Structure 1
């Protein structure tokens, strides 16, 4: 019986989460053992073992309802914050417009030329 030697390359490969989860599920089904799956997909057995451990440790998150509540609260907070910023921008825009109007009334239409040039204007 001839023994086959597998040479793993040292280039870094990137695996998708779908690929990882499919392999781990196949491993958990028990149809193939860890070493066989690793050899078929040309990955190190330790890497597959780590994926399995990570999968099992994070599996309870799927059934965690508080995570969804926290997400909804965070989205609501962000909406309120954006609305607050929009109000502030609107208020400041109105103030600037009013100041420009009053400056033109008091100092004349070319009042800006009397002062130093505005930054970032060419």
Structure 2
């Protein structure tokens, strides 16, 4: 959009008109340095052997190999390479102490109308530091998500809020089914 050889306006004036700095117009992006490219090769090689290494472990490994690197640099390079470590997932299927086990009511049941059977499930969303937990309430017949909530803990409050919202908006179902021990298995809604 900026013509260097404009007959009446200078490059500086054109940059002001477009609300960009003159240095942005002249900036030519630089590629990564040879050192960073070499580090990226080392990171890639090590990541193939230990895909569970995160930024801190990779930094520690490279320092032990004699490279003067810091966490910020390795984080930037791993992001640039789009490397995400594989790590242990949270165990959300532990049976709660003293929790009542409900009978499974859906064996052979024909689901043929809305609000007959709802289901709820919790999944986790990995974040840079820990997890977020997502609960969704869904109608089995329509496959519609009726309500959902996200929480940074596995306390039951966010699940109850989602269920209360779904009941408030659509009325109670005949059967509420979950496979999660934290909410409760199949149970008839009274």
TM-score (norm 2): 0.24
Higher normalized strand content (fraction of residues): 2
Larger radius of gyration: 1
Greater fraction of residues in helix: 1
